Amino acid sequence: MGNTQAPSSSHRFVMASRAFTPQEVEDLNSLFESLAAQSRSNSKYISPSVFEAYYGICGPLAFRLFEVVTQNRKDDMLTFEDLVIAKAVYEKGTRNEIEDFIYDICDVNGDGILLRCDLEAVLDSIRDTVFHHKCSQSSLSTYQVVMEVFLSTANFSQKVEGMSENSMSLDDFRNWCNLIPSARKYLGSLLMPPDLDRPGFQVPQLLYPENTNPDVLILQKEYAWHIAGGLSQMETEKWNLLYHSAIYGRSFTTFMGIISRVKGPTILVVKDIDGYIHGGYASQPWERHGDFYGDMKSFVFQLYPQAYILRPSGANNNLQWCAMHFSSDSIPNGIGFGGRANHFGLFLSANLDKGHSFACTTFNSPCLSKTNHFVVDVIECWGVISEGSNNGKTGIVEGTVLERFQEDHNMLKMVGLANASE
């Protein structure tokens, strides 16, 4: 071991080149020549400013990314060898190799210790590049609240000698990426061509009636970005507001009449009176059943006070629950995710005024609310419009949100049931 030397850059370049096809190497060379020409370096290197402008990343994260790609030489010169070596690891490496690379990037200060301030700089980069933050004070305030939610999910368990503050270990980081997959997608696509729809850079377009005040919506764009991390790219284009309890009241008949017409995936978001925000992604349409159904694409999430997504563990198939007009106590009327009857991972009763959440093995999820039983404040349901299927109409029903069910709502009001549930 004493005579072992690190591979030379040239040897690493030769090994890295083998990860690409000849056409891919040629494409990388064309990219390098174009950026080097813009850097006015006689085709020898890419400058930091041209690198940042091309990839659309700015601030401390961009500076650190450049450092890592140039192998920490600190000479402000990114060579063709640097580009090939970095992309071979970042795009062609194993999952562990890629996450090691990303972990190194997130050490924004470059001191070998990933602290809370480093993660804050990463989230600032997400704010500036994903949400294009040139914004009002109110939207900045909203983002600051959400940033704290993302930070609160992170664990800093590694003690640092001489410091009172713990750092984030690689295992801590990998767990954070699993809980916030949008962050992992963002960090894993920084070197992808910016003209593509880079994973982690998309924010679903939220569609709702023109006369709806966006401030009443629970699902702000930052939360939508977070949930989108658990979905395929074609499911992150547009989401359509199907139901809002402030618009339609707490009628389970109306609620089911709306969401059962949608034949695609939906996102249920619930805010309780303790301020906790949680919900689930239902991959299958909501249909009346006397037992659990669904598939392994479903998941549950929390948006506040922490942000995380929890996918099925495979322990059982108790994914979705949708019961209506059953008289047996063993088949509770309402909708839910995971767990077992009367002990769900997340459940809304047919009165739409209360629910419960218990730790469950279906998603390996904890209680999503402050206490196991909660009182509902607001309910939203969004339809996922999948651009790649059904001519882009998945998750849509005819007419606007208000128009589609105004007649039904008026009829319920006439018989005194508009704010009642069945």
Question: Do 210 and 128 have their domain in common?
Answer: no
Do residues 94 and 124 share a domain? yes
Q: How far apart are CA 312 and CA 300, in angstroms?
A: 9
Q: Is pLDDT at 405 greater than 70 in this prediction?
A: no
Query: Is 108 in the same domain as 245?
Result: no
Average pLDDT over residues 322-339: 95
Q: Do 235 and 182 share a structural domain?
A: no
Give φ, ψ of 354 to 5 degrees: -150, 165
Q: What is the pLDDT of residues 101-144, one digit of tens each?
A: 999 999 999 999 999 999 999 999 998 899 875 444 445 567 77
Q: What pLDDT is attached to residue 266?
A: 98
The answer to whether position 135 is within a domain reads: yes
- CB atoms under 10 Å from CB of 118, counted, come to 21
To the nearest whole number, what is the mean pLDDT of the chain?
Answer: 88
Instruction: Tell me the residue length of the chain.
Output: 422
Q: Are residues 158 and 256 in the same domain?
A: no
My answer on whether 386 and 300 are in the same domain is yes
In a domain, 421, yes or no: no
- pLDDT, residue 140, reads 57
Give the residue ranges of DSSP H helices in 45-200.
48-55, 59-69, 80-92, 95-106, 116-130, 137-153, 170-179, 181-187
| Claim to verify: residue 98 and residue 228 sit in the same structural domain | no
Whether pLDDT at 341 is above 60: yes
Assign 344 to helix, strand or coil.
Answer: strand
Say if residues 260 and 287 touch (Cβ distance below 8 Å).
yes
Query: Is residue 125 classed as helix, strand or coil in its secondary structure?
Result: helix
Identify the CATH number of the domain in which residue 50 sits.
1.10.238.10
* Residues 27 and 73 grouped into a single domain: yes
Query: Distance between CA 355 and CA 242 in Å, rounded?
Result: 20
For residue 412, what is the enclosing H or E element? Answer: helix 401-414
310 or 327: which leads in pLDDT: 310
Chain center to CA of 380: 18
**Are the C-beta atoms of 276 and 300 separated by less than 8 Å?**
no
Closest residue by Cα to residue 308 from 194, 212, 180: 180
279 and 372 share one domain: yes
- 231 and 167 inside one domain: no
On the 0-12 / 13-18 / 19+ scale of CB atoms within 10 A, 398 is: exposed
Structure confidence by residue, pLDDT tens digits, 32-48: 999 999 999 999 999 99
Per the structure, the count of domains in the chain is 2
Q: With 70 as the cut, is the pLDDT of residue 3 above it? A: no
Same-domain pairing of 241 and 269: yes
For 377, half-sphere exposure in the C-beta direction (CA atoms, 13 angstrom radius) is 12
Q: What six digits make up the tokens of 250?
A: 């707490």
Predicted local confidence at residue 10, as pLDDT: 82
Contact 181, 172 (CB under 8 A): no
State the pLDDT confidence band at 386, using cuts at 50, 70 and 90: confident
Say yes or no to pLDDT of 277 above 90.
Answer: yes
- Could you tell me if residue 97 is inside a domain? yes
Q: State how far the Cα of 264 lies from the Cα of 377, in Å rounded to an integer.
A: 26
Rounded to the nearest 5 degrees, what angle is found at the Cα of 292, between the Cα atoms of 290 and 296? Answer: 155
Beta carbons within 8 Å of 27's beta carbon, 6+ residues apart: none
Supply 273's token pair: 């009176």
H or E, element range at 30 = helix 22-38
* pLDDT of amino acid 4: 42
Whole domain around residue 385: which residue ranges? 206-414
Better-scored residue on pLDDT, 10 or 234: 234
User: How many CB atoms neighbour CB 324 within 10 A?
Assistant: 19
Residue 66 lies in a domain: yes
Contact indicator for 68, 101 with CB cutoff of 8 Å: yes
Give the mean pLDDT of 76-99: 95
> What kind and span of H or E run contains 347?
strand 343-349
Report how far residue 168's alpha carbon sits from residue 159's, in angstroms, rounded to the nearest whole number.
9
pLDDT at 31 over 90: yes
Query: How many other C-beta atoms can be found within 10 angstroms of the C-beta atom of residue 64?
Result: 23
Mean pLDDT, residues 201-221 taken together: 91
Mean pLDDT, range 180-195, rounded to an integer: 93
DSSP E strands: which ranges in 213-342? Answer: 238-244, 266-272, 277-282, 299-304, 308-310, 320-323, 334-340
160 and 38 within one domain: yes
Instruction: Quote the Cα angle for 21-25-28, to 5°.
Output: 135
